[in-house]
Amino acid sequence: MTQSMQIIDHLSELRNRILKILVFLAVGAVIGLVFCKQIFFFLQQPMLKVLPPNTSFIATTPFESYTTYLKVSLLAGFFMASPFIFYQFWQFVSPGLHGGEKKTLIPFTLLSGLLFIGGALFGYFVVFPAGFYYINAILADTGIHLMPRMSDYLSTATTLLLAFGFCFELPLLIFLLGKLGLLTYDRIKQYRRYVIVLLFFVAAILTPGPDMISQCLLAIPLWILYEAGGVSLLLLKK
């Protein structure tokens, strides 16, 4: 088989897997659309709990609620389909793995899904409350009341939830780079101090509040996940 034929086969397989992912996303989005109001109400809770009395979310255009609920359904569909998406990804890369490594396909899929959803839940239950509290605290005694728009809040929440989810995939990324021979535990130790600074910088960008507490709530778990990835490379050598 020529190299060009191999490339065509890979592209064809990639197309088929993307189509399967889109089908699952569509099914998840339809389910999400049925419960879109309840899902958005759930997403609002970290902000609602810290808003001053007699303030609420607002919609500033006639169709803002429609577009917001549609985006909520897509977000819900993505999270519902995320285990299947990771499964398709690992299936796509599995031909490049050895026989013994292929046996880890299902565990890797489950771990990928758990880390992704776990990261999003960590952001929602831990980082969101702290960050939104300090956002509102800045406005204390200023006479200014925060009344977040539906669409703006959803955009912020979506970005953060996806960012937290993918950030928690760090141990698997490190392990995969180790499998490919691109990263070793010695390099993990060598770059540790620089990575720690980078993680705190990333946390400062991703967290909603300007305070150090919410930044540490994200940076420290990422540091732990980085070290967990390093431990996986040690186990890989044995």
Q: What is the pLDDT of residue 26?
A: 95
Is the pLDDT score of 98 beyond 70? no
Hunting for tokens 């917001």 — which residue is that?
68
Cβ atoms 207, 214 nearer than 8 A: yes
**Per-residue pLDDT tens for 107-131?**
888 889 999 999 999 999 999 998 8
Question: Which DSSP string do the residues of 160-180 spell out, in sequence order?
Answer: HHHHHHHHTTHHHHHHHHHHT
Highest mean pLDDT pick, 98-102, 114-118, 234-238: 114-118
Q: What is the pLDDT of residue 107?
A: 80
Q: What is the pLDDT of residue 134?
A: 85
Q: What is the pLDDT of residue 131?
A: 87
* Rounded Cα distance, 23 and 113, in Å: 18
Q: What is the pLDDT of residue 116?
A: 94
Q: 181 versus 69: which is more confidently predicted?
A: 69
User: Any idea which of 7-11, 102-106, 159-163, 225-229 has the lowest mean pLDDT?
Assistant: 102-106
Backbone CA torsion sign across 190, 193, 196, 200? negative
Q: What is the pLDDT of residue 52?
A: 82
232: confidence class by pLDDT, cuts 50, 70, 90: confident
Is the pLDDT score of 163 beyond 60? yes
Q: 185 versus 41: which is more confidently predicted?
A: 41
Q: What is the pLDDT of residue 2?
A: 59
Cβ atoms 147, 193 nearer than 8 A: no
Question: Which DSSP string do the residues of 81-115 spell out, in sequence order?
Answer: HHHHHHHHHHHHHGGGS-HHHHTTHHHHHHHHHHH
Mean of per-residue pLDDT scores for the chain: 86
10: confidence class by pLDDT, cuts 50, 70, 90: confident
What SS3 state is found at 58?
strand
